[in-house]
Amino acid sequence: QVQLVESGGGLVQAGGSLRLSCTASGSILSIKAMGWFRQAPGKERELVASISWSGVTTGYADSVKGRFTISRDNAKNTVYLQMNSLNVEDTADYYCAAHPWGKTSPRNAQEYDYWGQGTQVTVSP
């Protein structure tokens, strides 16, 4: 079992920045990759960024590429999402999730077995 706790959400003006954190506990060795998802009202949950536990491989949605950066600190069992140049379209609930060994691809929500409780990001004009 893996437990995930997110923090760092809040209210920010367009053009500003936020840094989200996700700390993992439990069966850390079962984690193949971590992902950040977001879900806005009336929209499906979408993958924002992913990172292998080793940190070698990363991926980003086209909408955030160049603005968001995913990273991890394995010593702290923590994954971060640095969000810069935020715009109103980034407003959503953000979730971190753990992709375990045995799954095929960390590109869809169904490939992640463990989820945090979510943290809200609101970007004002």
pLDDT of residue 13: 98
Please count the other Cβ atoms lying within 10 Å of the Cβ belonging to residue 91. Answer: 18
Characterise 22 by phi-psi region: left (phi > 0), alpha (psi -120 to 50), beta (else): beta
How confident is the model over 4-53, as pLDDT tens digits? Answer: 999 999 999 999 999 999 999 999 999 999 999 999 999 999 999 999 98
User: Does residue 89 sit in helix, strand or coil?
Assistant: helix
In degrees, rounded to 5, the angle at the alpha carbon of residue 113 between the alpha carbons of residues 111 and 117 is 120
Number of H helices, E strands in the chain: 0, 11
pLDDT exceeds 90 at position 73:
yes
Backbone angles phi, psi at 30, to 5 degrees: -80, -5
Query: How much of the chain, in percent, has pLDDT values that exceed 90?
Result: 88
Q: What are the DSSP E strand ranges found in 40-118? A: 46-52, 58-60, 68-73, 78-83, 92-100, 114-115
